[in-house]
Amino acid sequence: MNIEQQINTLRNELREHNYNYYVLDTPTISDFEFDQKLNQLQELEKAHPEFYDANSPTLRVGGEITKNFETVPHTYRMFSLENSYSKEDLEDWEKRIEKMVDGEVEFTCELKYDGASISLTYEDGKLKKAVTRGDGFQGDDITANVKTIRSVPLQLKGDYPPLFDIRGEIVLPFEGFAKMNEERVELGEEPYRNPRNTASGSLKLQDSAEVAKRPLDCLLYSLKGERLPVKTQFESLEKAREWGFKVPKAAKLAKNLDEVLEYVNYWDIHRHKLPYETDGVVVKVNNLQQQEELGYTAKSPRWAMAYKFKAERVSTVLNQITYQVGRTGAITPVANLEPVELAGTIVKRASLHNADQIEKLDIREGDTVFVEKGGEIIPKIIGVNLEFRDPKSSPTEYITICPECGTELVRTEGEAQHYCPNADGCPPQIIGRIQHFISRKAMDIEGLGGETVTLLVNNGLINNYADLYLLKEEQIIPLERMAQKSAENMLKGIEASKQIPFERVLFGLGIRYVGETVAKKLAKHYKTIDALKNASEEELITVDEIGERIAQSVVSFFTSEENIEIINRLKSYGVQLEISAEKLANQTDALKGNTFVVSGVFTKVTRDELKKLIEDNGGKVSSSISAKTNYVIAGDNMGPSKKTKAESLGVAIISEDDFLQMIS
Catalytic residue numbers read 112
Question: End-to-end CA distance of the chain, in Å?
Answer: 59
557/563 Cα distance (integer angstroms)? 7
Q: How far is CA 201 from CA 36, 53, 66, 197, 545, in A?
A: 32, 28, 14, 6, 39
Q: Which of 231, 226, 274, 232 lies closest to 108 in space, CA to CA?
A: 232
Handedness of CA 231, 236, 238, 243 (dihedral sign): positive
User: Residue 372: which H helix or E strand, with range?
Assistant: strand 368-373
b/e sequence 185-206, b meaning 16+ C-beta within 10 Å: eeeeeeebeebbebbbebbebe
Q: How far is CA 245 from CA 75, 160, 239, 313, in A?
A: 20, 11, 9, 36
154/131 Cα distance (integer angstroms)? 15
285 strand-pairing partners = 107
15/6 Cα distance (integer angstroms)? 14
112/91 Cα distance (integer angstroms)? 19
111 strand-pairing partners = 281
Degrees, nearest 5: CA angle 368-369-371: 145
Helices (H) and strands (E) in the chain, counts: 25, 20
Q: Which of 318, 329, 324 lies closest to 361 in space, CA to CA?
A: 318
DSSP state of 189: P
DSSP collapsed to 3 states, 583-605: HHHCCCCCCCCCEEEEECECCCC
